[in-house]
Amino acid sequence: MPIFGFLSRSHKARSQTGYVFTCGNTAVSWKSVKQTMVATSSNHSEVLAIHEASRECVWLRNMIEHIQESCGLPSIKDSPTILYEDNAACIAQLSEGFIKGDRTKHISPKFFYAHELQKNGEIDIKQIRSSDNLADLFTKALPTTTFKRLTYGIGLRKLKDIASKETEQVSPMFT
């Protein structure tokens, strides 16, 4: 009996980069894209992804800083943006800078931009359990319950749920 497979595009063996930035429990910036190069390991793939997220982080921090200065609000320069990563090897590697060991010597030093940002206090990379990683929404197929939990985590709501909450919050005096 023949086996049939259906693909939307040819497989290029490239990993998916995905990230989401939240502010006030609401997604303000996100991205999901195939990486431009083939990663040789999951650690390599994570380093490439955190490089992309770090670049977006710098842009967001600059934009927020500009808005805060324009409005006379306190600066965020003194507090780092926390980036959550679920790969312990990637976190260790980025905290030490690029490693010239056999397993990682092929990773270009330019991808250790996140290490410089961490040294300068602009970002703080912290480990998170994979099951709690909101970026998984943008990188892989998920079970329905996980998908719903993570979409709630980035602030996505159904309009009917928002409308019913607003109705509940109306004072009895006005109903």
Domain locations in the chain as residue ranges: 16-174
> d(Cα 127, Cα 100) in Å, to the nearest integer?
23
Q: Give the span between the Cα atoms of 51 and 116, in whole angstroms.
A: 11
Q: Indicate whether 37 pLDDT > 70.
A: yes
With bands split at pLDDT 50, 70 and 90, how would you rate the model's confidence at 152? very high
Residue 62's pLDDT is what?
Answer: 92
Tokens 């990230």 belong to which residue? 19
Beta strands, E only, the chain? 16-23, 26-34, 81-85, 123-127
| The pLDDT value given to residue 10 | 46
pLDDT at 160: 81
pLDDT at position 15 is: 87
Instruction: Examine the pLDDT at 16 and tell me if it is beyond 70.
Output: yes
Q: Is the predicted pLDDT of residue 1 greater than 80, yes or no?
A: no
Buried residues in 34-51 as b, exposed as e (16+ CB within 10 A):
ebeeebeeebbbbbbbbb
Query: Checking DSSP bridges between strand 16-23 and strand 81-85, what pairing results, if any?
Result: unpaired
Higher pLDDT, 168 or 64: 64
**Average pLDDT over all residues of the chain:** 81
Q: Residue range 19-25: average pLDDT?
A: 88
